[in-house]
Amino acid sequence: MRLERPTRQAWLVWGCAAVVYLAAVFHRGSLGVAGPLALDRFAVGPAALSTFTVLQVSIYAAMQIPTGLLVDRFGSRRVLTAAALLLGCGQVLFAVAESYPLGLAARAVLGIGDALTWVSVLRLVTAYFPPGIYPLVVTFSSALGALGGVAATFPLTFLLDQLGWTGTFLLVGAVTVGYAAVAATVVRDSPDRHHEQPRPRMQSLSALVRGVRTAWSTPATRLAFWVHFSTMFVMNALSLLWGYPYLINALNMPPHLAGMVLSVLIIGQIIGGPIMGTIIGRKPPHRMPIVLTYLMIAVVSLTLLITWPAGHPPLPVVIVVFGVFAFGGPVSATAFALVRDYNPSPSVGTATGIANTAGHTATALAVLGMGIILQIVASLDDTTAYRIALLAPLAMLLFGFARTTTWWRRTRSAVLAAQERGDEVPVPVLRRRWDLHR
């Protein structure tokens, strides 16, 4: 049952669910400012430290399609309740962990809890809000989640200074576990529980593989994959782990200033989300030119950090560059618009999962790549080491830009062929001299 206008219950259920997502984003980014402490606590080097984030993000990426199946089968209320419990327990375990293996186990639990949240929130938005305001509510959800990222910067730095490692993570973990009871009580899968649809059975593995192959065979799905891969990973790699150590160790910023600069990565998402959401919805032909322009600007921005004389760009330059990276999150939403427009309805969910794995896979690769490089060049001074380490995300940006351009041309070719057959297409295109010919 879909309500014509959202009710107070709709906003209450959405707000309660969105807070779980906020908590997930907070816990996901909590190692960003705690990274230097983790090096000492677990007595590890940069490569081993990066494994914490790589493991967590890899689990998130791998869980996207299974999470959709779980939400279909058990509903958002149960999945969100489980997510809050896993997030809280994982953080409590991280608070008391003193060995590296136990720390890895804690981040794995956090990764599973994190992976369960976003799809669950989107399902509730679909159930409670009419199509006309669906994009707006999704934007609000993303913005509220981004506030969790803000909380994981200088506010978390303050808590760590006041309470220390164990006290801080025990506190935030316990609060999250307690909130699971709120989610279980307030969230309902449908605005009218008497009209809830029967739960479908879980798909077989062979059916799931067929669905993935069908979605992957669509050129626009490949394009969406590479758009998501290319646009958001630099922002994630810096906000989740390497941004804070880079600002402190390579640029010699004091911790509180570094935390505030790091928050630009999150605040930029909050500002850029509604802007990109409006453009994506109202000006579909502008989507890919914006993506390609953004990628070129991102390449130039990262190159500035690497090549600036003496490796110490001034604070205004760093803030502007971090602001550019922050807009990668909103720009990555183009991938989901492409999935929605060019996939048949039965394949949209699977194609969305495919696209959503891309950026998080790229994040894991970038975090790990920087960690390995920093380990190799540990004998160099911090400024030089980080300049070399930033070559890893720069190489990935260039690779992603090339793949995005390739699949943009192939998708345009498929759309042009459909137009010539007289088929209806979501976004008509005009043939250019540089278009591929079939």
Confidence check: pLDDT of 207 > 80:
no
DSSP 91-117: HHHHHH--SHHHHHHHHHHHHHHHHTH
Confidence check: pLDDT of 437 > 70:
no
User: pLDDT band for position 92 (50/70/90)?
Assistant: very high
Considering the chain, what is the average pLDDT of its residues?
86
Highest mean pLDDT among 41-50, 120-129, 192-201: 41-50
Confidence check: pLDDT of 44 > 90:
no
Q: Given this model, what pLDDT does residue 196 score?
A: 52
Per the model's pLDDT, the better-predicted residue between 382 and 7 turns out to be 382
Per the model's pLDDT, the better-predicted residue between 124 and 314 turns out to be 314
The pLDDT of 317-331, averaged and rounded, is 93
Angle, to 10 degrees, between the axis of helix 287-307 and the axis of helix 264-282? 160
410 in Cβ contact with 288 (< 8 Å)? no
Residue spans per domain, the chain: 1-191, 217-417
Q: Given this model, what pLDDT does residue 151 score?
A: 84
Confidence check: pLDDT of 198 > 60:
no
User: pLDDT band for position 338 (50/70/90)?
Assistant: confident
Residue with tokens 């990262």: 302
Cα 121 to chain center, whole Å? 14
Smallest CA-to-CA distance from 326 within 276, 400, 399 is with 276
207 in Cβ contact with 105 (< 8 Å)? no
Q: Given this model, what pLDDT does residue 100 score?
A: 93
Asked whether this chain's domains 1-191 and 217-417 adopt the same fold, the reply is: yes
Confidence check: pLDDT of 25 > 80:
yes
The pLDDT of 102-116, averaged and rounded, is 94
Q: Given this model, what pLDDT does residue 135 score?
A: 62
Q: CB neighbours of 213 closer than 8 A, spacing ≥ 6?
A: none
Q: CB neighbours of 416 closer than 8 A, spacing ≥ 6?
A: 429, 431, 435, 438
392 in Cβ contact with 374 (< 8 Å)? no
Highest mean pLDDT among 200-214, 284-298, 416-430: 284-298
SS3 158: helix
CATH topology of domain 1-191: Growth Hormone; Chain: A; (1.20.1250)
Confidence check: pLDDT of 74 > 50:
yes
Q: Given this model, what pLDDT does residue 137 score?
A: 76
CATH superfamily of 217-417: MFS general substrate transporter like domains (1.20.1250.20)
Confidence check: pLDDT of 3 > 50:
no
Least confident of 22-36, 48-62, 151-165, 204-218: 204-218
Per the model's pLDDT, the better-predicted residue between 203 and 143 turns out to be 143
Residue with tokens 């969105």: 18
What's the CA gap between 165 and 282, in Å, rounded? 46
What's the CA gap between 241 and 233, in Å, rounded? 12
| Per-residue model confidence as pLDDT tens digits over 125-173 | 878 887 667 667 777 787 788 888 888 877 888 899 899 999 999 999 9
Confidence check: pLDDT of 307 > 90:
yes
The pLDDT of 380-402, averaged and rounded, is 95
Q: Given this model, what pLDDT does residue 111 score?
A: 92
Q: Given this model, what pLDDT does residue 330 score?
A: 85
The pLDDT of 57-67, averaged and rounded, is 84
